Structure 1
Amino acid sequence: MRLSFIILPLGLSLLACTEPPTGQSLPLMGGYRDPADQCVRVGENEFTNQFLDHTADLVGCPVGYEGTGVFVTETSAVLVAVADGYELYSVPRN
């Protein structure tokens, strides 16, 4: 008998339990890498507090955005949640 294991990244386990409180939206603050960037810096509120710290930026990319793979590769971003149509990433500050 062969045993099979499925390994999921830590970020995926967080997705099911992280949604902003009803009536509260993400505080989006404009392009992250440049003003026209679809990935935007996300500000602080009751929901995003859990993902913010002094060593990383919180950035949101639209769900389904074609450039997400390049963004993750270039910035070493880690997926932490999905909310309001955005995938939220913690991006280490270098």
Structure 2
Amino acid sequence: MERHLEKVMRAICACALALTVTGCVETAPKVAISEPDPELNFVRGYRSVADECQLVGETAFTVDFLDDASDLVACPTGSAAMASLLAETGAAVVTQTNSFTFFRFPYR
């Protein structure tokens, strides 16, 4: 009986987390564009080489979101990688394109 209760509680916690993250995803960005996505310069995975969330370099679209004191990171909108990044950091959305959501991470 205790194992069943433990499984149920884990499922409830997972659902609560998913609902919380989903609520964060729907935050209205300051600037959004429609199709097609702008040209983006992906540098590398942000948390690891295989991370879907990518460090983004300068392009005509990103120039207004970059500065010398933070990283600009783009995640595929609605992806598991984006959900885990939000859960880990609580980052706010900077902007959004049709396919990507952008976050800024200060490092000083």
Instruction: Give the number of aligned pairs.
Output: 82
Q: When you count helix as a share of all residues, which structure comes out higher?
A: 2
- 2:70 alignment partner, one of 48, 51, 56: 56
After TM superposition, give the deviation of residue 75 of structure 1 in Å. Answer: 3.4
The residue that corresponds to 1:65 in the other structure is 79
Kindly tell me: are residues 86 and 13 of structure 1, through their superposed partners in 2, closer, same or farther at Cα, counting changes over 3 Å?
A: closer
The residue that corresponds to 2:28 in the other structure is 12
Counterpart AA for 2:28: L
After TM superposition, give the deviation of residue 84 of structure 1 in Å. Answer: 5.0
After superposition, the CA RMSD in angstroms is 2.5
Kindly tell me: are residues 66 and 56 of structure 1, through their superposed partners in 2, closer, same or farther at Cα, counting changes over 3 Å?
A: same
The residue that corresponds to 1:80 in the other structure is 94
Identical residues among aligned pairs (%):
32
Say whether 1:42 aligns with 2:46.
Answer: no
Mapped contact 1:55–1:93 kept (Cα < 8 A):
yes
The residue that corresponds to 2:107 in the other structure is 93
After TM superposition, give the deviation of residue 67 of structure 1 in Å. Answer: 3.1
The residue that corresponds to 1:7 in the other structure is none
Kindly tell me: are residues 93 and 74 of structure 1, through their superposed partners in 2, closer, same or farther at Cα, counting changes over 3 Å?
A: farther
After TM superposition, give the deviation of residue 76 of structure 1 in Å. Answer: 4.5
Q: Which segments of 5 or more consecutive residues in structure 1 lack a partner in the other structure?
A: 1-10
- Larger-gyration structure (1/2): 2
Q: Distance in 2 between matches of 1:57 and 1:30?
A: 12
Q: Which segments of 5 or more consecutive residues in structure 2 lack a partner in the other structure?
A: 1-26
Q: Partner of 1:67: helix, strand, or coil? A: helix
